[in-house]
Structure 1
């Protein structure tokens, strides 16, 4: 919906502000958006919200996401404002489109909002790329038709907050890392590395300045990131120019973003000095102590860089921290020798403090030990302390103590020590050797720490964890059991619906068959041949519909075997159009075909594909029954299916052949579209549909690796698209559509030697066997009968069985021998005897796959079959073994 003629932005958004004025004054007629009064109401509403918001807000509109924003958002694009107004997003944010582009596409394609926090965006500002951080959200804007036509963006920059947080974390980490370092060189190396990594610098160095000339800077172990060489040794600061040296001597912090552009370093001498050390930007913090420059900390970058105030302050802070830490480390090093005995005692943790001579055998009373264990001096002296240790730990502790004494290495052991009340407590014992003036071990200082409560708590925690795992496993098992019960219930419900629908349709069909035959019998008795013929025709039609229903059930269940091969879809559709489709649609419906040039070959079972197309044509014909203009169009095309469409359709991405069948019928109501593939669901009138047509087509397409897509508009018509995978080989020629299976079947056959050919019919159902015998005898064959496999083998073993030229057997029979077993046994005894099997079951469920012509073990004739089906199949199996002869009927 467009805005009313003459509408202005001020009518939509009365709020003032510079951006509102800029939008009103912009020449929009020269843009794809067109004049402002023609803008859709959705866009005007979005701009109303945007310009009225106090929070930074922007609107991206249209296919190329043209940008609008309010005054609070204007500082975000920096120097791109106001140029960015009305520009496509990819032009405005070309430097960060690799990051934000996929986020916008996600919102446009899925209709889902997007938000992110602390998103790093490398934005170009002031001619340089800067690392910035943002919190922002992207919200879809939908038009009147519900499609996403724009994106609402709100957010703000948090670069300073992120840097402040990181600096604080850096300070805490620096404090923690420097706390326990005693050597001055280690303090300097650690601080330099941490600062360089935090700032992303190329080189960091700390050093001292000579006390005389105050111009020579000495550094011994500066840090680099590997892209520039280190600068060890003593360097003359005067090489960088008098202004630099003067600033450093005054204790100023030197901050240079670009040595070539800064007037203090622009002279050739300074530029050459910085180029020699591969430095284009620098921060140097000078340390003045007692009014004199004594040390400095520098940070170098190879490329020009804008140094944030917080980063400069951090360099100054680290310089002071290094100075203090180095001073402290030097003081600690000076005191370390005199405090060695005291420091060792502190490190041993004085829970139970004791000392022992170099031999490790106690020579003096130990008050703390005796107070805890209750041992007297007489019990403790020498190695008597071992008696207070738990018997299970005693030998181990004795070995550890003896090894420490022998190797003069620190001692540590954990064991159970008896308290004076008789209870054993877990104790952690530590001891260190104390050297005498000669460097040899003069004595031992040790301590025992009670860790009993800690070990008890750890054991309880382990027990709780084990119990928790058991509870989780039990709960998981219960959940899986409940899910399985639910699946079984759903399965039984689906089976109930399926069997109910099958029973309903079969009852209707059997009513036609049995009723027609019953009345036909009465009419036959009355001599009314015309009426009898009509009733028999009705019974045959009912039986044919029942057979079609079973075939659709097999196809729907995907148990019907397929014989996929490379198919020329254009040739198949052409061969169908002249006969099958034209006769199916009738003269009232105009049939059009639109074949794509250079159509790829498809992988499919051509017979099943023909049935699927015919099914869709019948659906289209029925949908156009009441239409004045009835036209059915079949189009073919090559299609490349990308990952997004493939995922939605449930197929693999790649190349497909599309067959689109379109009608000009009434269309499918929206409420029916959600159920269109449900079995037994139909929108046709009673008796005009089984509800298995589209489900059967869907099952066939899924079984073939493709899918079905439906597009329907009520009142205009429906298009059903079949997508089939592309074949890797060229298709064989498609046979011309069948003109009638009975044509060409000889009514009269003999063996090649002139005698009538004998067929052994093995069928446990007498009525079915009678039918087969009648058809075969009527066609000139001699027939022998057997009710099961063992009887058939007996006949074949009889001399009369030598005349049998074909075995025709049911598959499922009583007696413990199936038709497949019989065929294999006959093949073992008489490998030259042709075999034809018949069944009403799905082939796969009986171990039958395809047909003999497709590499299967034996040919199969599906039940129910008509006269011409049986005779045609027999002729196919016999090939040249039978020749025309006069009719001959067996009485056996």
Structure 2
């Protein structure tokens, strides 16, 4: 039985209805082809939208997953940055910081770490970050920098200092890139980092560079000054020796007075060279155990001649002051320098205060206020004036050689440099504190003396020393004028003198006649053999040969091959006649006692 087929027409469409009997039918392929194609088409139409919807759903989930992963990575990156990342927006037409500014993004932990401010506070009030800046001038410079960058739409980079609410000072550096928004606002995408350690390292490096530069400069000037002082000492040696010989022969009171005045001037010249050598750290110091209170009390006798009556002098001397080991003459010279500077700073009117105190320097205070001191006990001698003070930008310069604020003719710029040189050579330092229009305090820090018993004692020349022992002396000196004067002094004292113009010449003479009782020699001379080399060569021939060294400054002996032996005497030029003869007698007496023993 064939199926029944009919067409049904409805408003919504047409349907093809096939009816077959229960026992089925076997339609032909041609009869079922069209219905099957229509069914297939309907299936396709129903399946494709479902497939596309599923594809879009799966694709959207993957995109969301990728976005979430990216967001997680970016969040982890921002949160692990060694600084703060934030977006800072400013309204259109405004190029200076103000309450209208907004922080639209800021990683919270970094905000707290850098500024000490909660991120929510910063997001509600952008000025909470600006107000952390320490220096108003730097803040204004930063603002101008941002204004220019905003107008020119270019990135900015800046470093500034802040203080957290807890009082911690930091250095921050930042970089921002401007992006103009559609509403006219400008958003800065910024990164800020804490560079406090880097700034501290750079400051320390700069300090070390400055110290190295000053040390190199001072060393160069020291060499120059030391050389000049050495040559000047040779000239003074000739003048002093000649004047002392003339004073011995002259009986006229008027002429003797002139000679005495010339000798006094020579003494002042010797003091000047000693101060120059102190600056060069090559001075011959004679340290003795001093009570600085006694030095200040003795200074009262000459301060009256130095200071006008319009300057009041006050002293505050500590009872129980520790003793120091220092050269008395150089200490008095340093004190005089400070007093004269204070007088000039007060223009002849004011109050000068001299104080002493015991000071303990520990590791924390070793570098305060100037050069670093080794921890230990120190005695401070301070000179305070009520003058105009020293501007802050000049305080690091006043100890530099030849720097002076005085008008031409009133200062050389070497006074304080010499004081610093003397204090360094004595193991101490100089520190300064000054306020403009209030006054200045310059303090000398002397190491407190230990219980050592071998401190050298200074002594004044014994002008009464006369006579000699007829010793046979080999005199070695390259300066003819100095050599002739020394020969005259020694021969007038009864000694037999043979001159040698160099170490090589002296060795040749000694080989011909080794019977000398004493060698008096300069240290620095032309030729192969310096003074110390000559002594070494002669003592290979005569081990017990006594020696007196003469030089322009202390360290010449060690600078030319060997240190002085314990029995040798070292005299610094210019040397008084009495001092030279005293040294000769001392050495010869010691040699005689050794021979008898």
CA separation in 2, counterparts of 1:875 and 1:593?
A: 44
Aligned to 1:782: 496
What aligned pairs does 1:817-828 form with structure 2 within 5 A after superposition?
817-828=529-540
Aligned to 1:813: 525
* Mapped contact 2:306–2:340 kept (Cα < 8 A): no
Match of 1:614 among 333, 350, 355: 333
Deviations 1:94-122 (A, max 9, x none): xxxxxx9xx9xxxxxxxxxx724789xxx
CA separation in 1, counterparts of 2:371 and 2:570?
A: 33
* Mapped contact 1:762–1:810 kept (Cα < 8 A): yes
CA separation in 1, counterparts of 2:256 and 2:291?
A: 36
Matching of residue 866 in structure 1 with residue 576 in structure 2:
yes
SS of the residue 2:466 aligns to: coil
Shift of 1:810: 1.4
Change beyond 3 A, Cα 1:639–1:786: same
SS of the residue 2:291 aligns to: helix
Aligned to 2:541: 829
* Mapped contact 2:389–2:436 kept (Cα < 8 A): yes
* Mapped contact 2:360–2:376 kept (Cα < 8 A): yes
* Mapped contact 2:367–2:373 kept (Cα < 8 A): yes
Match of 2:275 among 530, 539, 552: 552
Matching of residue 710 in structure 1 with residue 429 in structure 2:
no
CA separation in 2, counterparts of 1:587 and 1:842?
A: 33
Deviations 1:110-148 (A, max 9, x none): xxxx724789xxxxxxxxxxxxxx999855599xxxxxx
Aligned to 1:93: none
Matching of residue 773 in structure 1 with residue 487 in structure 2:
yes
* Mapped contact 2:550–2:571 kept (Cα < 8 A): yes
CA separation in 2, counterparts of 1:795 and 1:500?
A: 34
CA separation in 1, counterparts of 2:229 and 2:465?
A: 36
Please, what TM-score do these two structures have when normalized by structure 2?
0.51
CA separation in 2, counterparts of 1:592 and 1:735?
A: 32
Change beyond 3 A, Cα 1:690–1:549: farther
Shift of 1:620: 0.2
* Mapped contact 1:763–1:788 kept (Cα < 8 A): yes
Change beyond 3 A, Cα 1:711–1:720: same
* Mapped contact 1:758–1:806 kept (Cα < 8 A): yes
CA separation in 2, counterparts of 1:496 and 1:737?
A: 30
Aligned to 2:205: none
Shift of 1:843: 1.7
Shift of 1:748: 0.8
Shift of 1:153: 3.9
* Mapped contact 1:561–1:849 kept (Cα < 8 A): no
Deviations 1:669-692 (A, max 9, x none): 426534210112245576665432
* Mapped contact 2:274–2:284 kept (Cα < 8 A): no
Structure 2 unpaired stretches of 5+: 1-97, 102-111, 120-127, 137-161, 168-209, 244-249
* Mapped contact 2:226–2:282 kept (Cα < 8 A): no
* Mapped contact 1:809–1:819 kept (Cα < 8 A): yes
Matching of residue 742 in structure 1 with residue 458 in structure 2:
no
How many residue pairs match? The answer is: 395
What aligned pairs does 1:195-594 form with structure 2 within 5 A after superposition?
540=263, 543-560=266-283, 571-577=290-296, 579=298, 581-586=299-304, 594=316
Change beyond 3 A, Cα 1:778–1:679: same
Please, what TM-score do these two structures have when normalized by structure 1?
0.36
CA separation in 1, counterparts of 2:559 and 2:229?
A: 28
Deviations 1:760-800 (A, max 9, x none): 2112222111111122223333322222334434544556x
Deviations 1:608-638 (A, max 9, x none): x751453123430464376466655241222
Aligned to 1:115: 115
Deviations 1:473-532 (A, max 9, x none): xxxxxxxxxxxxx9999999889988999999999x99x99xx99xx9xxxxxx9x7886
* Mapped contact 1:599–1:638 kept (Cα < 8 A): no
* Mapped contact 2:133–2:163 kept (Cα < 8 A): yes
SS of the residue 1:868 aligns to: helix
Aligned to 1:839: 551
CA separation in 1, counterparts of 2:561 and 2:332?
A: 24
* Mapped contact 1:677–1:694 kept (Cα < 8 A): yes
CA separation in 2, counterparts of 1:652 and 1:494?
A: 19
Shift of 1:829: 1.9
Aligned to 1:723: 445
SS of the residue 1:730 aligns to: coil
* Mapped contact 2:548–2:571 kept (Cα < 8 A): yes
CA separation in 2, counterparts of 1:722 and 1:487?
A: 20
CA separation in 2, counterparts of 1:771 and 1:678?
A: 38
Aligned to 1:320: none
Deviations 1:424-463 (A, max 9, x none): xxxxxxxxxxxxxxxxxxxxxxxxxxxxxxxxxxxxxxxx
SS of the residue 2:397 aligns to: coil
Matching of residue 681 in structure 1 with residue 400 in structure 2:
no
RMSD over aligned CA atoms reads 5.4
Change beyond 3 A, Cα 1:818–1:654: closer
CA separation in 1, counterparts of 2:400 and 2:413?
A: 8
Deviations 1:250-270 (A, max 9, x none): xxxxxxxxxxxxxxxxxxxxx
CA separation in 1, counterparts of 2:216 and 2:467?
A: 51
* Mapped contact 2:423–2:430 kept (Cα < 8 A): yes
* Mapped contact 2:471–2:496 kept (Cα < 8 A): yes
Deviations 1:726-750 (A, max 9, x none): 56x4254978874x3234x521122
SS of the residue 2:367 aligns to: helix
SS of the residue 1:813 aligns to: coil
Aligned to 2:204: none
Change beyond 3 A, Cα 1:657–1:676: same
CA separation in 2, counterparts of 1:696 and 1:494?
A: 11
Aligned to 2:140: none
CA separation in 1, counterparts of 2:539 and 2:468?
A: 24
